[in-house]
């Protein structure tokens, strides 16, 4: 996604309101069919018994294989890591990596069937110390050819176009059709409707299909109902926490891009970081993904 050079993203949070385990495909370089809607998960640390170390799973048990690479690691204080002679990783009981040096990582090509086959796996991490006995921990991992949903927010400091983009599946596609999307001003985002904009254009919405083609695009008007056309409804509530709601998306919509013209959305405090949360709905599933950053 293209972002202004002045607006790098801070660590993006991702919270799934309803996560379904994706179906697994056999092809390593193509999205699986009938992928569900799901959001990237926060990393998780698995304690290694008898030590002060943890095995980090950056994917919280659900790895999208087509993200090119995966990487697992062992974390701890400098003193605790200094006592580690080696770390090994076993995939379904077979040791696939032994690392005798910091930073004690197992990385590989996530889409390679030889490195991370699609399906359900058990990862076992064993730490062998320079003094003492070896210790292990295990955790489950599902490797899938489905991709997580995506959301990004570009909000100007004071004036300028604000852009909110939704993807049912990032990168290679294969995600479900979207029914609706919403945007919530989570932190340091304000929205207004100037008197001069009432009843006039305040932006646009583009409905995009699987191959990036635009299915429909509409102009949004400055009113509580910014659009009502062909079953698609866009509600705009300036000043509200959840200020934008889109419902009634037609079949085949995979991505949605909403642009609000200058003066509609901006930061409350230009020097502070902001967060906007996008919620995507597909059938009975919905996920919420936070996006934001700080101007430098």
| Backbone φ and ψ of 172, nearest 5° | -85, 0
Cβ pair 244, 183 in contact under 8 A: yes
The token pair that represents 228 in the structure block: 């009502």
| Backbone φ and ψ of 78, nearest 5° | -60, -40
Q: Which of 144, 168, 200 is at the close of a domain?
A: 144
Q: What is the pLDDT of residues 99-122, one digit of tens each?
A: 999 999 999 877 666 678 889 999
pTM over 0.85: no
pLDDT at 141 over 90: yes
Residue 32, pLDDT score: 55
Pick the range with the lowest mean pLDDT from 10-14, 110-114, 140-144, 243-247.
Answer: 10-14
Peptide bond into 103 cis (omega under 30): yes
Whether residues 129 and 180 fall in one domain: no
Which residues lie across from 181 on neighbouring strands? 246, 280
Number of folded domains that form the chain: 2
Tell me whether residue 8 is in a domain. Answer: no
Question: Please, what is the end-to-end C-alpha distance for the chain in angstroms?
Answer: 19
Residue 258, pLDDT score: 98
Cβ pair 75, 104 in contact under 8 A: no
Closest by Cα among 156, 169, 170, 190 to 259: 156
CATH of the domain at 257: 2.60.40
Q: What single-letter DSSP state applies at residue 222?
A: B
Q: What is the pLDDT of residues 40-63, one digit of tens each?
A: 888 999 999 999 999 999 999 999
């Amino acid at each position: 996604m293209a972002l202004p050079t002045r607006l790098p993203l801070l660590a993006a949070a991702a919270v799934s309101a309803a996560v379904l385990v994706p179906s697994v495909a056999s092809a390593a370089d193509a999205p699986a069919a009938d992928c569900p809607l799901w959001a990237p998960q926060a990393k998780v640390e698995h304690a290694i018994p008898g030590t002060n170390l943890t095995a980090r799973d950056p994917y919280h048990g659900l790895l999208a294989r087509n993200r090119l690479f995966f990487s697992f690691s062992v974390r701890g204080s400098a003193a605790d890591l200094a006592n580690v002679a080696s770390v090994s990783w076993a995939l379904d009981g077979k040791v696939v990596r032994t690392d005798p040096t910091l930073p004690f990582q197992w990385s590989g090509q996530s889409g390679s069937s030889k490195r991370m086959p699609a399906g359900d796996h058990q990862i076992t991490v064993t730490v062998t110390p320079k003094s003492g006995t070896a210790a292990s921990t295990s955790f489950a991992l599902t490797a899938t050819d489905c991709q997580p949903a995506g959301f990004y927010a570009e909000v100007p400091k004071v004036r300028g176009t604000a852009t909110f983009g939704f993807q049912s599946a990032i990168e290679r596609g294969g995600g479900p059709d979207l029914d609706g999307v919403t945007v919530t001003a989570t932190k340091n985002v304000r929205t207004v409707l100037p008197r001069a904009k009432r009843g006039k254009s305040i932006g646009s919405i583009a409905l995009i299909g699987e191959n990036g083609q635009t299915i429909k695009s509409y102009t949004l008007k400055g009113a509580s109902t910014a659009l009502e056309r062909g079953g698609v409804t866009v509600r705009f509530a300036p000043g509200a926490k959840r200020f934008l709601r889109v419902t009634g998306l037609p079949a085949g919509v995979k991505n949605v891009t909403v642009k609000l013209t200058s003066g509609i959305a901006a930061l409350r405090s230009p020097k502070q970081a902001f967060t906007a949360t996008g919620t995507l709905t597909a059938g009975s599933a919905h996920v919420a993904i936070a996006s934001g950053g700080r101007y430098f």
